[in-house]
Amino acid sequence: MSIDVESFTPFFSLAGGIVIGMAAAVLVLFNGRIAGISGILGGLLGASRDDSGWRAAFIAGLIGAPILASALGQPISPDIQAGWGEIIVAGFLVGVGTRYASGCTSGHGVCGISRGSIRSLAATATFMATGFVTVFVLRHLVGG
């Protein structure tokens, strides 16, 4: 295994993790809400008028952050090795998984584990194991 040194950005990754942790802490401290993206977006789609402001701001921040980073000279150019069909199926499966798990990786992995939730630990372990198996199957058994 080798590391692509040009794409290895430990300081940006650390800064991003710190910002995510701070955002999750601020949201729970000041709003009493867990920073789970699936719940925030799902609530925005069916939220009452008084609840939609902070949800829209949160989603706008998720979309705006990479745009701002790119404008500041840190271009965001992911190398996605999949077609649109695969991306749509994967997105659908992730959506189904978040419904079954009652939350997504951000809600369970960032917020739930930090609160000591056994359910979140189990959900995150399941997310990770499924990802590991999927990559192994696609790279070694299907894609060769």
5-29 pLDDT, tens digit each: 777 778 888 988 898 889 888 888 8
Annotate 90-113 with b (16+ C-beta within 10 A) or e (fewer).
eeeeeeebbeebebbbbbbbbbbe
Are 74 and 97 in the same domain?
no
The pTM of this model reads 0.69
Are 18 and 88 in the same domain?
no
49-63 pLDDT, tens digit each: 777 888 888 899 889
- Decide: helix, strand or coil at residue 74: coil
Distance (Å, whole) CA 65 – CA 38: 18
Quick one: angle between helices 10-31 and 52-71, nearest 10? 160
Structural domain for 95, as ranges: 80-144
- Decide: helix, strand or coil at residue 67: helix
Are 90 and 139 in the same domain?
yes
The reported pLDDT for the residue numbered 90 is 86
Domain boundary among 78, 108, 129: 78
